[in-house]
A and B are shown apart, each in its own frame.
Chain A
Amino acid sequence: GENVEQHPSTLSVQEGDSAVIKCTYSDSASNYFPWYKQELGKRPQLIIDIRSNVGEKKDQRIAVTLNKTAKHFSLHITETQPEDSAVYFCAVSGGYQKVTFGIGTKLQVIP
């Protein structure tokens, strides 16, 4: 089955700095890569997703880049704010295969 690795497991940044979280996957047939943000005790919420026919997608301060050849994709958050503090999960799926989630990255934005 699919194997997803997510790094780092924890990340602390100063407010205003950028944060980057990276995920690698194993199945070259995977073609859907969403990112979820989960605040403590709350539901995972989709913040951005990318499909394999594009290499980059942006939504205000959030961007995702995809390198299908190397089988990795990254989440970039610019101008971080305290409310960005949460756990971020990457996920991978393709066709009729189930979604596989990464282990999560705990992001702390220090005011």
Chain B
Amino acid sequence: DSGVTQTPKHLITATGQRVTLRCSPRSGDLSVYWYQQSLDQGLQFLIQYYNGEERAKGNILERFSAQQFPDLHSELNLSSLELGDSALYFCASSLSPTATDTQYFGPGTRLTVL
């Protein structure tokens, strides 16, 4: 157990809908990263938050957005869902804002868009 939690574990929804994924980092970690992993694909970095502020952006679609709250948990919002958004979504946390800090991954949320 990495200490990073994610909810829900599974999510099934329809095209055009909007969903929110939640992540709580390890105790003491200030950075949260979001990744997308499609079937048989590697991990694609979406976005990073550090202590409530957006720190870095990767290949995140405009239909997707995220935020980090004062208690440091983070939410990833996915809207106007398409079939191709079906994937495993992981969050990871680390202590510092630098990408050279060890990242600890949560168990992931499996999103299925029908």
Contact = CB atoms under 8 A, between A and B. Distances in A.
A95 B108 CA distance: 26
Nearest to A51: B100
A103 interface: yes
Contact of B100 (A42, A43, A95, A100): A95
A49 B102 contact: yes
A103 to B, nearest CB: 5
Chain B interface residue bracket vs A: 20 to 34
Interface stretch (B14-22, B41-49, B63-71, B73-81): B41-49
B106 interface: yes
Interface string B85-100: 0001010000001111
15 contacts: A34-B102, A42-B107, A43-B90, A43-B107, A43-B108, A44-B90, A44-B105, A51-B100, A89-B42, A93-B100, A95-B98, A98-B99, A99-B103, A101-B45, A103-B42
A90 to B, nearest CB: 10
B11 interface: no
B83 interface: no
Most chain B CB inside 10 Å of its own CB: which residue of A45, A95, A96, A102 = A96
A57 to B, nearest CB: 13
Contacts of B114: none
Interface in B12-48: 33, 41-45, 48
A99 B45 contact: yes
A94 B100 CA distance: 6
Contacts of A95: 98-100
Interface string A84-108: 0000010001111111111110000
B58 A98 contact: yes
Most chain A CB inside 10 Å of its own CB: which residue of B33, B43, B45, B105 = B43
